[in-house]
Amino acid sequence: MKLHEHQAKEIFAKYGIPVPEGKTAFTLEQAKEIAEELGEFPLVVKAQVHCGGRGKAGGVKIVKNMEELEEAVSSLLGKTLKTFQCPDGKPVTRVLIEKATNIDKEFYAAVTLDRSKSKPVLMASAAGGMEIEEIVKENPDAIIIETIDPELGLMPYQARKMAFKLGLPVKETAKILLKMWEIYRDLDASLVEINPLVLTKEGKVVALDAKMDIDDNSLFRHPALAELEDEEQLPLQEREAKKYNLNYVKLNGNIGCMVNGAGLAMTTMDIVKLAGGEPANFLDVGGGANVEQIANAFRILMGDSDVKVVFINIFGGILRVDRLARGIIEASKRVEIRVPIVARLEGTNAEEGRKLLLESGLNIIPVKDMWEGAQKAVELAKNAEGSC
Amino acid sequence: MAIIVDKNTKVVVQGLTGKEGSFHAKQCLQYGTQVVAGVTPGKGGQVWSDDEGKYNLPVFNTVEEAVRETGANTSLIFVPPPFAADAIVEAADAGVKTIICITEGIPVRDMMYVKDYLKKEHTDVILVGPNCPGVITPGQAKVGIMPGHIFKPGSIGIVSRSGTLTYEAAYQITKEGLGQSTAVGIGGDPVPGLTHKDVIEMFQEDPETDAILLIGEIGGTMEEEAAKYIKEHVNKPVFAYIAGITAPPGKRMGHAGAIITGGKGDAKSKMEALREAGVIVIENPALIGKTIREHLSNPEVMAEWD
């Protein structure tokens, strides 16, 4: 689960990490009130979206007076912000308004999991302001890494060492780094990132931005954090899918995929691509897909107007395929399905399942393997696009 | 021989009396696995029976008792996520040397502590999972939730991060007239017990395994680490399939660990690393079984590994 910058900054402030003074506005009126409260210009207006590359996309604006503030806030609130990381855009429902900072130097700092060691790491770089992906690509040596022992936690010497290497005021910086670790640990974060961490012209160290991801699996023990989730940042279908406990990710193609199991679901996307098509989504209906889940999955796929054909790829294990076929037939009665369905059913009782589908009178094309299914789906999708 | 589980495996099921535990314990018993006990705190002294009353197992309050009374040497865990870390540590402290954790949804922080603890206190314990289908040595023991009938005894070792994809691959292999020595589901979480590399090391040393199939996916660097190991230490043919070439960065693909982050973990770099290590990377997932059979039945190709 992703947190907004303003939510992460509120947590930072609570832990004693310096952040610029500011507040969040959901309306223009609130924005003006906040500006008055802050009592000085210039101010910075920052769109709150779950997406990187916000600055370059015009999501961060410096304003010198009330008029400029109104203009900036109006140009952001209620709009969709498209960035290079989110070409489809994210809705801006709130803006963070902050006092401007006199930046001298920008740095990068983050605590995250090093999966190859199964241990947390503190990473930092003097190349702040850039996305970490860019730093990794362009100058991996510019990243300083300290591995954290899970039992001991980040040791003060490690934080000091890093501050010395970065050339930042040691006491203040080490404190910030130690607090980042505490937040990571206490809140089951999967990422605590400050980019940029800045040294101001006044010689202070401040978290100018804040990014936090929380481990979804830990939310049962953080009910207050769970409430911070801004579902509007998720595409509509993903929100729906979440309600039904389905794993769904929207992609840009026109072949809707419905699969049991995450690995096979990814594989299905890949084979569609290999056959010359574009998957419309990742969709895992779970290892034990039942009628209810299949019906919900259809509902979500049909909600995506890009979908021209549905490719069902099910490997029945303990779950018998004939039962699944009945589920598909039943679900197709409940949900209006406006596109052809290619169904590859394999595993236990597959023969029986295929027969059921053939006899159902539905527009379902049974195929014998994944490759044939992918090719058939691609062909149908191309025909459908051609006829429009 | 095979690896991790065999006919001498004696299983204690932690969470036996729950719905999942009951269902799959029965399936394992039907396969012929020696399931000898269950553990559910507070239900010690009861006798568990499957829904048809065919199998009966003693239930204990603690793993320690179960081990003492039944000689269990392997634990199969179905305990819900908030309590799963506790269950793993309990099994390890009770002297169980092979722990297979099926549970999906354990917080990463819990697994980080568990892995750290096992590394420091129980270096001889093998942890498989969590969020995995388990381990099967066809014809000997099934300790997990996989459909047993699609596996056949044979000489191909499978190691995989995905459940259904393992079934898919095993089924294709079986249909080609081949079989599996052992299939190990290492799970889809960011902090797993055994890694690809660990299992490949076991297969390399297993005389009953002639070839290895690695099934990987986006996220992390486990496949790259396996590639490095293969290059230096493995002289058996290794095949690989990597899922998620079309997965966009920053999006979690179902499994908690299947996510490309910080410019790391995409399918392409994994495939490249494996190819560079001499692994036969299969691009079409429908051709996993066929590719393996063709290679293994071609003496010229096989000569390369002699």
Q: Do B254 and A264 touch (CB under 8 A)?
A: no
Q: How confident is the model at residue B154 (pLDDT cuts 50, 70, 90)?
A: very high
Q: So which residues of B are the catalytic ones?
A: 255
Q: Which fold has domain A234-387?
A: Rossmann fold (3.40.50)
Is the pLDDT reported for residue B306 higher than 80? Answer: no
Are A325 and A290 in contact, with CB atoms under 8 Å apart?
no
Give how far the C-alpha of residue B211 lies from the chain's centroid of Cα atoms, to the nearest Å.
Answer: 17
- A167 touching chain B per CB within 8 A: no
Q: Nearest chain B residue to A130 by CA: give it.
A: B262
Domain ranges of chain B: 10-128, 146-303
Mean pLDDT, rounded, for B109-131: 97
Q: Which helix (H) or strand (E) holds A134?
A: helix A132-138
Alpha carbons A112 and A147: distance in angstroms, whole number? 10
Alpha carbons B217 and A266: distance in angstroms, whole number? 8
Catalytic residue, candidates A5, A146, A193, A229 = A193
Which residue in the set A266, A317, A348 is minimally distant from B244, CB to CB? Answer: A266
Q: Do A150 and B164 touch (CB under 8 A)?
A: no
pTM of the model: 0.94
Phi, psi at residue A349, to the nearest 5°? 60, 35
Q: Which residue has the tokens 């690809």?
A: B196
- Residue A289: per-residue pLDDT: 64
Are B217 and B258 in contact, with CB atoms under 8 Å apart?
yes
Q: What are the structure tokens assigned to A12, written together?
A: 């930072």
Alpha carbons A180 and A220: distance in angstroms, whole number? 22
**What contacts B212, CB < 8 A, 6 or more positions away?**
B156, B157, B158, B159, B200, B203, B204, B234, B236, B237, B238, B239
Is the pLDDT reported for residue B305 higher than 60? Answer: no
**What contacts A351, CB < 8 A, 6 or more positions away?**
none
Q: How confident is the model at residue B128 (pLDDT cuts 50, 70, 90)?
A: very high
What residues of chain A score a pLDDT lower than 50? none
Q: What are the structure tokens assigned to A105, written together?
A: 């130097």
Is A248 assigned a catalytic role?
A: no
CATH 3.40.640.10 fits A1-19+102-232, yes or no: no
Nearest 5°: the CA angle A359, A361, A362 is 115
pLDDT tens figures, B227-242:
999 999 999 999 999 9
Q: Return the closest-CA partner of residue B173 out of B159, B147, B154, B200.
A: B154
B/e letters for A61-72, b = 16+ CB within 10 Å, e = fewer, are: bebeeeebbeeb
pLDDT tens figures, B59-77:
999 999 999 999 999 999 9
Per-chain mean pLDDT for chain B: 95
Which residue in the set A185, A215, A282 is minimally distant from B254, CB to CB? Answer: A282
Question: Partners of A327 in the beta sheet?
Answer: none
pLDDT tens figures, B72-97:
999 999 999 999 999 999 999 999 99
Q: What are the structure tokens assigned to A283, written together?
A: 């969709």
Q: Do B108 and A113 touch (CB under 8 A)?
A: yes
Residue A276 carries which DSSP code?
Answer: T
Alpha carbons B249 and B219: distance in angstroms, whole number? 10
Q: What are the structure tokens assigned to B21, written together?
A: 């535990």
- Residue A346: per-residue pLDDT: 86
Q: Do domains B10-128 and B146-303 have the same CATH topology?
A: yes
- Residue A357: per-residue pLDDT: 87
* CATH code given to domain A21-100: 3.30.1490.20
Contacts of B106 in chain A (CB under 8 A): 217
Q: Do B243 and A266 touch (CB under 8 A)?
A: yes
Alpha carbons B45 and B77: distance in angstroms, whole number? 19
Q: Do B246 and A279 touch (CB under 8 A)?
A: yes
Alpha carbons B135 and B100: distance in angstroms, whole number? 8
Contacts of A149 in chain B (CB under 8 A): 116
Domain ranges of chain A: 1-19+102-232, 21-100, 234-387
Nearest 5°: the CA angle B296, B297, B302 is 55
Architecture in CATH of B146-303 = 3-Layer(aba) Sandwich (3.40)
pLDDT tens figures, B216-229:
999 999 999 999 99
Q: Which residue has the tokens 């898919």?
A: B168
- A51 touching chain B per CB within 8 A: no
Is A108 assigned a catalytic role?
A: yes
ipTM score here?
A: 0.92
- Residue A333: per-residue pLDDT: 84
CATH 3.40.50.720 fits B10-128, yes or no: yes
pLDDT above 90 as % of chain B:
91
